[in-house]
Amino acid sequence: MSRGRLWIAALAPQVALLVGMVAVEEHGRATGAEVVLEVRAYDPMEPVAGRYISVPLAISRLDLTKIPHPEPIPSYGSRVYVRVTKGETTWQAAQVAAELPESPGGLEGLFLRARVESPWNPEVSKELRLAYDIDRFYISEDAEDPSVWRMNDTGRRRLAVVARVTASGRAHTVDLLVDGRPYQEWNREQRRRSAGK
Partner 1 sequence: MSVAGRKIAEALLELEREGALSWEQRALVERRVTEALAGKGDGAGRFISILAALGGVLVGAGILYLVGYNWDQLSKIQKLAIVFGVWLSIHYVGFRLAEPPGGYPRVGRAVTSIGILCFGGAIGLVAQIYNLSSEYPNWVLAWWALSVPFVLLTESTAILLLVIALFLVWIFWHTGTLVDRFDQHIDHDFFAAFALVGAGLGLLWSSLGAWSSKSRFGHFAPVLAGLARPAAIGAAYALSFKDFWWDQMDTPGRSGEFQWFTPLHGGLHAQAFVPFAALSLAGLAALALAAWRARERERVFEGLAFFGAALALAANLWLWPRGIFLLANALLLAGILVLVYTGIRRGRPADINWGIAAFVLCVATRYVEYLWDKLEGAYAFIGIGLVLLGMGWVLERKRRKWIALSVGRVA
- List interacting residues with partner 1 (CB under 8 A): 3-4, 6-7, 9-11, 13-15, 17-18, 21-22, 25, 48-50, 52, 75-77, 115, 119, 131, 133-138, 140-141, 143, 172-173, 184, 187
Report the SS3 class of residue 84: strand
The distance of closest approach from Cβ of residue 71 to partner 1 in the complex, given in angstroms and rounded to an integer, is 18
- Cβ neighbours for 52, distance < 8 A, ≥ 6 positions apart: 43, 44, 45, 46, 136, 137, 138, 139
**DSSP label at residue 150:** -
> What single-letter DSSP state applies at residue 127?
E
Is the Cβ of residue 64 or residue 162 nearer to partner 1 in the bound state?
162
Query: 133: which strand partners?
Result: none
CB of 120 to partner 1, least distance (A): 9
Q: Shortest approach of partner 1 to residue 7 CB, angstroms?
A: 5
CB nearer to partner 1: pick between 16 and 167: 16
- Closest to partner 1 by CB, 158 vs 170, is 170
CB neighbour class for 177 (10 Å; exposed up to 12, middle 13-18, buried from 19): buried
- Tell me phi and psi for residue 6, to 5 degrees: -65, -40
Nearer to partner 1, 55 or 96 (CB): 55
| Least distance in angstroms from the C-beta of 103 to partner 1 | 30
Q: How far apart are CA 122 and CA 149, in angstroms?
A: 36
Give the residue with the Cβ less far from partner 1, 88 or 141: 141
CB of 67 to partner 1, least distance (A): 23
**Is the CB of residue 151 less than 8 Å from the CB of residue 80?**
no
Residue type, 196: G
Q: Are 107 and 101 in contact (CB under 8 A)?
A: yes
Q: Which is nearer to partner 1, 18 or 33 (CB)?
A: 18
CB of 28 to partner 1, least distance (A): 9
